[in-house]
Every structure is written in C-alpha cells, then in structure tokens.
Chains A and B, each alone.
Chain A
Amino acid sequence: MTEPLIELANLGFAWPGQAQLLDIPAFTLARGETLFLKGPSGSGKTTLLGLLGGVQRAQSGHIRLLGQDLGQLSAGARDRFRVDHTGYIFQQFNLLPFLSVRENVELPCRFSRLRAERARQRHGSIDAAAAALLDHLGLRADLLGRRADELSIGQQQRVAAARALIGQPELVIADEPTSALDFDAREAFLQLLFAECRAAGASLLFVSHDQSLASLFDRNLSLAELNRATRPQEA
C-alpha cells in the first residue's frame, strides 16, 4: 500500500481562549481517492481545512501531507507547500472579479514554481494548460479573455475548478463548491470535477452538508464522527 496523501494523528486544535474545537485521533486520505466529508456549519470544518492548508498550526498531534509534517514547517514554507500541492474550490466568489478568466486560472502558477513547471510539462505552456482545463470543463474558448465577474455562477465554479487543478496538485479541497448551483448542475459539475481529478491523479476532499451527493464518492465520512471534541452547541 502506498503512503496516504493526508494523514492526521491525534490532532488537537482550539482557538485562543476557546474550548477544544478539534480532536481527531486518526484520519487518512489515500492518493487518488475521492472523499465526501459531511460537516454542518460550526463543526470545525473550516478550521480543519485551514489546518490542512497550513494556515493554522495544530496544537497537538500531526498533520502529514505527502509525508511532510506541516507542523515542522515555518509559516512561509507552509504557504509554499500549500500552493504547490493543494488546489482550493470554495463555496462561491472564488475568483478575483477584476482579472480575466485566464488570469484567474493561472494564478496558482504565478505563486508556485512547481505548479507552473508541471503545467508547462504537460501542456507546453501555462496558457495552454489553462485553455485545456477550461475546455475539458466545458467552458468556451471565447470566455477566456472575459472578466471573471461577467460569467454565471456555474461558469465561475468551473473556472475555480480549473484553477484548483492547474499544475496538477496532489490534493483538491472543495468547500461546498456546489451549494450555489441547482441540483442538475451540481451533479454535472461533480462529474466534471471527478473526471479532471482522475486525469490529474489528484485526491479530492469534498466538504459539504448536502448528503445527497455523498453516494457519488469513493468514501464518505462525517466530521462529527471523526471529531471527539465536545462542541459548545451540543453541550
């Protein structure tokens, strides 16, 4: 068995002056796996994603991404590690409205040499990589030069997916990316996302409170089951 992509062990985290928010004894995500993580708002979901992204540092335990213990990296190194290996898709408003679609997609390559290099290797150039991804995600080539805020919400989410995938990061984290879409569009979007993750060999960590999509994933988990910390609203 290959080394897991994400490995959490005895992770503990609390915001300063607040009760323990996360206490996760063990959690792994295999390479290439798609995981549905159910988490209602207030469950510490956002904090967990922040920890995985290296924005916050765990107070106890380990987070290993690709075998690298994030806790041992400096803040700057964690930032670099995040962009090198993780693509993000958020709920809504993923894009910088004042940049073009193409510029939005290419942003990670501007901050990560590794992803720029991979995009070039696979597609010849960063521009070609962006165009290919957008094409696969069903966006017409004439939208490339448009300002991001001229697109519909569904189109914007596909642009966000292309941005998360450019330069083949090993992990794609999606935080309720479909909540702004209607049901039919959700499934279509997910299928495209799956296909692209598979093509890029990326794992997908999909966080949502919408159980209806769970069956489409390799595996599904609930953050409430994972997390042993007693949360104030349940106390």
Chain B
Amino acid sequence: MHLIRIALASLANRRFTALLTVFAIALSVCLLLAVERVRTEARASFANTISGTDLIVGARSGSVNLLLYSVFRIGNATNNIRWDSFEHFANHRQVKWAIPISLGDSHRGYRVMGTSTAYFEHYRYARSQALKLAQGREFADDPFEVVLGAEVAQALGYGLGENIVLAHGVATISLVKHDDKPFTVVGILERTGTPVDRTLHISLAGMEALHIDWQNGMPARGAAQISADQARAMDLQPKQITAFMLGLNSKIATFSLQREINEFRGEPLLAILPGVALQELWSLMGTAEKALFVVSLFVVLTGLIGMLTAILTSLNERRREMAILRSVGARPWHIASLLVLEAFALALAGVAFGVALLYLGIAGSQGFVQANYGLYLALNAPSSYEWKLLGGILAAAVAMGSVPAWRAYRQSLADGLSIRL
C-alpha cells in the first residue's frame, strides 16, 4: 500500500506533466471508444434497416444503388418502372405482398415516399418489427395526407393536423415547391432508428396528384394549373413508380422469382436480395471502418508513448528520490514496481477520464448525431469488447512502464545510496 501512496504522491508532485499525459491518454481512449461505438452502432443500425423483405425490385442498375435509394433514401433511381410491371409481379402466385415505392420529392431535406397502405402492414425492420403509429392514423382516401417519420416530426416540430408543402426534387434547398397542394399530417410513426424516421409517407395517389399538371418536368402555369380540389376528382392511378418490395409465400421461391424478374420481357428490371446487397454495401464501407479503427489504435499507442517519454525523462531528475528510498530500505524491485505503478496509475486515470469524456460526448451529441446521421448512440455501459480494449490499453501501459522500471532498477543498483548531484 505504501508503494502506491508513494507513487501517487510522486506523480502529484509532477502534476503538470502527469495531467498532460493523462489528458493525452484520455483523448486517445475517448477517440478509440467513440470510433468503436459508432462502428458497432452503424453496423447494427445498418443490419436493422430492413427485414422480412425477400426481394427489392427497381429499374436495372446496380444492386447497391437500388438498395441505397429504395431503403436508405440515398441517391436517386436511374429510371422508373411501369405500374403494370408492378401489378404483374404483385399478382404473381409466389408473392404474398408487394409494397410500391415512388420517390423524387422532399420536404426540407427529408425524402417523401409515395407508397400504399401495404407499407404499414408489411414493412419490417430490425428483428421483424412492424411500423407502429405513435399518433394519428395511416393515410386514407384523401390524396393529400401525409404520415411522418418520428425524426421528421420531432426535428421540424410537426404535430397532427399541420399543413405542409412538399418540394420537387431532393435537394435540401428546393427551388420548386408544390405549394398549390399542401398536405395534412394525419399520423406520426414511432421511432425505428432506420431511414423510415427520416421519411414523409404519402399515398401513391398523392404523389400522382402533385405532378398531375406537370409537363416536361416543369409545373404548369396559368390555365393549365390543376388545383388540389380538381385533382381529388381526377383519376390518380399512377403510371410509374420507382421501385417495389416483395414478400414471398415461400423463401425457397426467392431465387427463381429473382431470375424471373431479371429476365422480365416487359422492361429491364433488377431484383435484389436485401440481405446480400446489405452485405455488399457493408463490405464497401468495412474497409474504411477498419482503417478508422486501426488509426485510432495508433492514436492510443501515441498517447502511451507520450507517457513513456514523460516517465523516462523524469528518471534522471528522480535519482535522488530513488536513492532516498533505497536508504530507507526500498529494494531495487520496489523501485521498479514504483515505476510500473506510476505507468499503471497514469493509464488508469487516462482510461477513466477518457471513458468519462466519451459519455459526456455521447450525452452532448446524441441528438445531433441521431438527427444528422440517423445513428442512435446509447449511453450504455461499456460492452465486453470495450472492456477488453480498455484492459488491453492498461496492459500495454504496464508493459511500457516496465521499460523505465528496468532502467530505474539498473540505475538504483548502480547508484546505491549515494546521491550524485
């Protein structure tokens, strides 16, 4: 016990260097854990994005591209597909349910998705969880009704009954607004932690009504304009959609139906298995993620080397301290353990401070990260993997501490009790 007391008092005596060392270690530990958390969370939320869907079908492009725009609302479709193609496969004998998706509009940076009520019924995320309404109801017969994702409602402060105007295109700042046809919020979904939270859901009829008077990609002017009420009375059956999701009666049919869709003669289509495409996408990002992890490991190593340097440089000026300890009975191994203890104490303080920083950081940025990146960073206790990382850092610190310990051991054997000033 007294060795610990001496080690701590000696460190306190050099508190400025000690604090800097602790701070360097803390920052590196915090970085490592933050990278680890974001990595784990990103992977989890990624894998949780969609479940229960057997096939996603869109215009022929790349599978990752199709996955990105249909599920993650990132990027755009290269082409639309015809409604009759959708109908053809929706009525296929192997198909249990089908969800049409129509994309292309946005509201203040959030994507608008046109779909059918089948979406609320069949879409699943995480471990087969269905979408639930936190407030209100699903959109119904009136085309100008919208159901908000949890984050949209929260971030923009919308409640039920709010009238909102959608914008054409998906840029954050949109020049063309559908301000002649406002939508009414009729429902708000519960939070899912997936891109659904960042989506505004309208009916396909609503999507059609928005663009019914558009010609050549431009809104109609003057007499050609069709008002919302006029639109309500018109036939709002869409001719085209962007993609659709399929649930099958039997998983076994997945591959044969996939081939059938890919070879469909009506128009070029692409069917993907969400799980396979997710894996493909993750393997793309996996390299970056691993690189990030390796970089943060090196940052920790740098922090520890900083500690090693600080202890080694202090050795010479502490020869007197060592000699005094020897004269009052400390054996050379006492001196060595004193230095290992010192390294351990610095690393322990660094790790503790780093973990505290991490939790402070998470508490402070939780909302921001969720709103902007859709990642929910929980204030969980460290996972067993994180404990292992922390233990590894401490072990590395002790291993490094043995370098000055060995030097001090040799030095104190040579110096003995004489104090060379």
For the complex, is B356 an interface residue (Cβ under 8 Å from A)? no
Question: Do B10 and A46 touch (CB < 8 A)?
Answer: no
> B327 within 8 Å of A by Cβ?
yes
For chain A, which range describes its interface: under 10, 10 to 19, 20 to 34, or 35 or more residues? 20 to 34
Given contacts A88-B417, A110-B2, contact A96 B326 (CB under 8 A): no
CA distance A108 to B321 in the complex (A): 14
Smallest CB gap from A83: residue in B: B329
Total A-B residue pairs with C-beta atoms closer than 8 Å? Answer: 68
| B contact residues around A23 at 8 Å (CB) | none
Q: Please give, as numbers and ranges, the residues of chain A lying within 8 Å of B9 by CB-CB distance.
A: 96, 98-99, 103
- Which residues of chain B from 1 to 18 have any CB-CB distance to chain A below 8 Å in the complex? 2, 5-6, 9-10, 12-13
Residues of A within 8 A of B327 (CB): 53, 88, 90
Point out the residues of chain A lying under 8 angstroms from B418, CB to CB.
46, 49-50
Shortest CB-to-CB span from B8 to chain A, Å, is 9
**Distance A55 CA – B6 CA, assembled complex (angstroms):** 22
Distance between Cα atoms of A53 and B412 in the complex (Å): 14
- Whether B328 contacts A107 by the Cβ 8 Å rule is yes
Please tell me if the beta carbons of A93 and B419 are within 8 angstroms of each other in the complex: yes
Chain B contact patch, size range: 20 to 34
Please, which residues of chain A bring their CB within 8 A of the CB of B416? 50, 53, 55-56
Give B324-365 interface residues, CB cut-off 8 Å to A. 324-332, 334
Give the one of B10, B419, B421 with max A CB within 10 A: B419
A108 to B418, CA, bound (A): 17
Of the stretches A4-12, A74-82, A191-199, the one at the interface is: A74-82
Chain B's closest residue to A55 (CB) is B416
- Give A76 to B329 CA distance when docked, in angstroms: 10
Task: From known contacts A55-B417, A88-B417, infer whether A94 and B324 are also in contact, taking CB-CB under 8 Å.
Answer: yes
Cβ-based interface call for B320 (8 A): yes
Residues from chain B with Cβ under 8 Å of A75 in the complex: 332
Q: CB of A97 within 8 A of chain B?
A: yes
Q: Mark A84-110, 1 if CB is under 8 A from B, else 0.
A: 100010110111111100010001101
Residue on A nearest B328 in the bound complex, by CB: A107
Asked if B329 and A111 make an inter-chain contact with CB atoms under 8 angstroms apart, the answer reads yes
Instruction: Other than A55-B416, A96-B321, A107-B329, give 10 A-B pairs with Cβ distance below 8 A.
Output: A53-B416, A56-B416, A83-B328, A83-B329, A90-B324, A96-B6, A99-B6, A110-B329, A111-B328, A111-B329
By a beta-carbon cutoff of 8 Å, the part of chain A in contact with chain B is: 46, 49-50, 53, 55-56, 75-76, 79-80, 82-84, 88, 90-91, 93-99, 103, 107-108, 110-112, 163
Mark B residues whose CB is within 8 Å of A: 2, 5-6, 9-10, 12-13, 320-321, 324-332, 334, 416-419, 421
> Which 5 pairs from chain A and chain B are nearest by CB?
A83-B329, A111-B329, A55-B416, A98-B13, A107-B328
